[in-house]
Structure 1
Amino acid sequence: MLSGLSEWFWQERLWFPEGLGWADLEDRDGRVYAKAHDLWVALPIALMFLIIRQIFERLARRVATPLASLLGVKETVRLKAPHNSTLESYYCNITKNPTQSSVASLCKQTGYSERQVQRWFRRRRNQDRPSLLKKFREASWRFTFYLLAFIAGLAALIDKPWLYDVKEMWEGFPVLTLLPSQYWYYMIELGFYGSLLFSVASDVKRKDFKEQIVHHVATILLISFSWCVNYIRAGTLIMLVHDSSDYFLESAKMFNYAGWRNACNYIFIVFAAVFIITRLVYFPFWIVYCTWVYPVTIYEPFFGYYFFNGLLMVLQCLHIFWAVLIIRIAVRFLTHNEKVDDERSDKDETDESEEEEEEEEQAEDKKHTKKNGPMLNGHSVHNNNHSKTE
């Protein structure tokens, strides 16, 4: 059954124009072509990236942590929620954001005041949020990869004609010899996106979590498919375009976490400009045009043609989604000089330090005492002026 399914899946009429097939991609006369089984190399590379990342973020103190300290990134000071089995059970099993009626019910069960219950849930939610140092380490890891990947991709393509004339990527298709630089560029990129997909559960959760999953899966499918059917020239261009702006974003995040507002803002504006030019202009009007419109002037459309361009359309929809967020942030900064913040991130519900929050709580307690009497374990204790007689 598996053999029949494999034979159906790899049939030539699905993946190649009429008159071309797998026989055209057999190694001969010193010419080497991409093979589907080469993609297995990406799995150990993905594992290697996961290991390197752990070393980079946790053990290599000479890399991320000292840099974070130099830039002023400090561990977020957060007050821990006192242990309460009733509230903890509700938090873990029901919801992290109780309604007003639920708060009232929890007050009766725990003996806490309404303010204490709300404070407990706020602190407990903040405990689950990643610290600035964790965010900084993740951003510094991605910044390092994207910058090196962009430099490596540019070095691999700088002397290639299809970098300057995208129509050249179809010259001689599908009989396009695989170069060593293309091989490693593909395997490293595929391994990296595989590692991102594996680690997404432990990474900082953002509001576009689902979009990130779709992006990673579409990218992995796109890289894998373009490799198997020798769309490698198009694939290298697409990867270079995506790497060209990402390291700006990650560096802006690093400065944001460090509190360097001006540096973050101006780097973000550069990122926004590069993103819009590469993802909303060059990608759709040059690359997609040359994969969607130009090929039909050479051969009849086939399933692989629609599949490949369908994946590109998924990426383009994600580009538009993220561009809306980016433009919204950029406009707010340029018109109101507001701080650039990543709208996708979950923020602490208070930006106050431990001392400031304690001062606020003390002020609230004094106000509450003045109105209702002193507090004891969250309850008002009213003075009894009646003398006790024997």
Structure 2
Amino acid sequence: MAGILAWFWNERFWLPHNVTWADLKNTDEATFPQAEDLYLACPLACCMFMIRLVFERFIARPCALGLKIQASGPQKAQPNAILEKVFTAITKHPDEKRLEGLSKQLDWDVRTIQRWFRQRRNQEKPSTLARFCESMWRFTFYLYIFTYGVRFLKKDFLLMFLHHVVTICLISFSYVNNMARVGTLVMCLHDAADVLLEAAKMANYGKCQRLCNVLFVMFALVFISSRLGVYPVWILNSTVFESWEIVGPYPSWWVFNVLLVLLQALHTFWSYLIVRIACRAISRGKAGKWNPLHVSKDDRSDIESSSDEDEVLPPSQKHQTNGTNGTNGYLSSSPCPDEH
């Protein structure tokens, strides 16, 4: 074990050639990140989880109820021990052969069994109230973290806004090899856009369509400008080119910068998706109300529609059913109550 630890923490991998672990020990004059500090992540994560539960229960939920967001979920499937066992232990999407077998075993027609599995799958998905509470928590968390980051990083005149969600590997890497400032700046940059995204989702759940549209446009502009502008021009330029001249390359330097470049590739892909969503929404909105997020999908919140139920509903009820159960978790077309 000692040999494995010595190999893993090899100074020639983690540090520049003229630096040793002894140089990074804390002194009265200077303080450096210590790898063992990462152990604090586990108890801190537990504390954050408890804080989230309290926040969603006593703050977000009353706000949602005040906006008339319903706590009721989709229609529940009638209790059936045989189908429940198949659903939990075998498959949630039975094939045609299994459906026929269950039909003979239960003396139910296949369409009834299909409807039961559809309703049972819908029960697994969170209600609009739960999704609103989740978005309100994320909105509050990202806003606080972003404000905190700006307050303590801009005082050093670092005109960069960076990211909230990098992989644990990238965050740990930046901490262990003493590039903690880069890691925190990347997290801060990403928080700027996430605040607007969660605010747009809250407006959607509250049926404030116009506000949601404005927030989505703001989110898209901040996302693209920060992750395709600020991130590569200032962050990657500093970590790849300026650091090469200051400390030179070493093994962990290569790994760290490869991860940052891969992150930029993800930024480009996500920006493409956002632009495509906006273009589709604009083209669809020519015939009616503009709905920027209506074409995007959120698998957690899609309620599976029932084709056989739609056939027996009158046109007015079909429209109401699709508006309630067919939303995609981001937008609906209902205006805010004060906009009638």
Contact 1:325/1:343 (<8 A) preserved: no
With the length of structure 1 as denominator, give the TM-score of the two structures: 0.71
Letter aligned with residue 52 of structure 1:
I
Please report the RMSD computed on the Cα atoms of aligned residues, expressed in angstroms: 2.7
Instruction: Provide closer, same or farther for how the CA distance between residues 255 and 351 of structure 1 changes in structure 2, counting only shifts above 3 A.
Output: farther
**Equivalent residue, structure 2, for 1:107:** 103
With the length of structure 2 as denominator, give the TM-score of the two structures: 0.81
Deviations 1:102-142 (A, max 9, x none): 33332222111232122111111111111111111111111
Letter aligned with residue 265 of structure 2:
C
Distance (whole Å) between structure 2 residues aligned to residue 233 and residue 289 of structure 1? 15
Greater C-alpha Rg: 1
Distance (whole Å) between structure 2 residues aligned to residue 361 and residue 120 of structure 1? 17
Deviations 1:284-333 (A, max 9, x none): 23211221222222343111111111221332333334333322222222
Contact 1:147/1:247 (<8 A) preserved: yes
* Alignment of structure 1 residues 59-138 onto 2, 5 Å: 60=58, 63-138=59-134
* Alignment of structure 1 residues 186-265 onto 2, 5 Å: 219-265=167-213
User: The residue matched to 1:293 in structure 2 has which SS?
Assistant: helix
Q: Which has the higher contact order (CA 8 A, sep 6+)?
A: 1
Structure 1: stretches of 5+ with no match in the other structure = 167-188, 194-215, 364-390
**Equivalent residue, structure 2, for 1:348:** 303
**Equivalent residue, structure 2, for 1:199:** none
Contact 1:163/1:237 (<8 A) preserved: no
* Alignment of structure 1 residues 333-344 onto 2, 5 Å: 333-337=281-285, 338-339=290-291, 340-341=293-294, 342-344=296-298
Contact 1:154/1:240 (<8 A) preserved: yes
Contact 2:139/2:198 (<8 A) preserved: yes
Distance (whole Å) between structure 1 residues aligned to residue 297 and residue 273 of structure 2? 7
Distance (whole Å) between structure 2 residues aligned to residue 65 and residue 145 of structure 1? 16
User: The residue matched to 2:103 in structure 1 has which SS?
Assistant: helix
> What is the aligned-residue identity percentage?
41
1:296 to 233, 240, 244: 244
Q: How big is the shift at 1:155?
A: 0.4
Contact 2:73/2:123 (<8 A) preserved: no
Deviations 1:169-216 (A, max 9, x none): xxxxxxxxxxxxxxxxxxxx9xxx9xxxxxxxxxxxxxxxxxxxxxx6
Contact 2:236/2:260 (<8 A) preserved: yes
Deviations 1:323-357 (A, max 9, x none): 333222222223322532452333001399xxxx6
Structure 2: stretches of 5+ with no match in the other structure = 315-340
**Equivalent residue, structure 2, for 1:22:** 21
**Equivalent residue, structure 1, for 2:325:** none
Instruction: Provide closer, same or farther for how the CA distance between residues 344 and 316 of structure 1 changes in structure 2, counting only shifts above 3 A.
Output: farther
Contact 1:72/1:259 (<8 A) preserved: no
Instruction: Provide closer, same or farther for how the CA distance between residues 277 and 92 of structure 1 changes in structure 2, counting only shifts above 3 A.
Output: same
**Equivalent residue, structure 2, for 1:324:** 272
Contact 2:161/2:226 (<8 A) preserved: no
Contact 2:160/2:230 (<8 A) preserved: no
Instruction: Provide closer, same or farther for how the CA distance between residues 315 and 344 of structure 1 changes in structure 2, counting only shifts above 3 A.
Output: farther
User: The residue matched to 2:158 in structure 1 has which SS?
Assistant: helix
Distance (whole Å) between structure 1 residues aligned to residue 73 and residue 43 of structure 2? 38
Letter aligned with residue 81 of structure 1:
A
Q: How big is the shift at 1:20?
A: 1.8
Distance (whole Å) between structure 2 residues aligned to residue 165 and residue 225 of structure 1? 19
Contact 1:253/1:264 (<8 A) preserved: yes
The answer to whether residue 31 in structure 2 is matched with residue 32 in structure 1 is yes
User: The residue matched to 2:263 in structure 1 has which SS?
Assistant: helix
**Equivalent residue, structure 1, for 2:54:** 55
**Equivalent residue, structure 2, for 1:280:** 228
Q: How big is the shift at 1:101?
A: 4.0
Instruction: Provide closer, same or farther for how the CA distance between residues 55 and 351 of structure 1 changes in structure 2, counting only shifts above 3 A.
Output: farther
User: The residue matched to 2:31 in structure 1 has which SS?
Assistant: coil
**Equivalent residue, structure 1, for 2:324:** none
Contact 2:161/2:188 (<8 A) preserved: no
